[in-house]
Amino acid sequence: MSVWRKFLDKFSLYDLIVIAMVSALGIAVKPIIAPLSHILAGPLLIPPGAVTGGIYMMWLVLGFGITGKRGTMTLIGLVQAILVMATGMVGSQGVMSLLSYTAPGILADLGLLLIGHRVCCLPCAFLAGMLCNIAGTVVVNLVYYRFPAVPLLLSLSVAALSGGLGGVIAFKIVWQIRKFQKQDQNISKG
């Protein structure tokens, strides 16, 4: 059995549907958010994704929070990269989309694996979003901008805050979903 198949076998049909949906939603919001990010980032001379990346990366954290399965953020990033390359809808990164969309999921999945969390609390959700956006900003910087140290540190600082806030938003949504699931279970029992 291949490693890829073994990896995918741990996801249920429900998990895969969640992954597909949040991947598509993450790509769908980009054309809406992109003009805002250019307006906000332009005066700061930093990559637009560093500023509004928390909105983009929120979807990865949300997906993991819903499924609770390790590797979810990586898989969401991979699906988003494939969607972008297949449709040509967002960005002009071409095959580099595989790296720029998948790296955030890989780093965040590894970060939460190291601390043993699964978007189970506010701090780990903040960390996941922060790691996602930092990874995305680093990749975009390496591929396109190649900033010197000071502008890069500014970009990474903004990316960390934006990504962390996106993680907090994702956690709040996950918390509401879990609350509704508990209420539904109580109604079913009662």
Condensed to tens digits (0 to 9), the pLDDT of residues 2-57 reads 888 889 999 999 999 999 999 999 999 988 888 887 787 777 777 777 788 899 99
Domain count for the chain, please give it: 1
pLDDT at 120 over 70: yes
Range of the domain at 26: 3-189
Return d(Cα 48, Cα 62) in angstroms, integer. Answer: 22
Query: 57-93, pLDDT tens digit by residue?
Result: 999 999 999 999 999 999 999 999 999 988 877 566 7
- Domain of residue 167, CATH code: 1.10.1760.20
This prediction's pTM: 0.92
Evaluate whether 176 touches 138 at the Cβ level (below 8 Å).
no
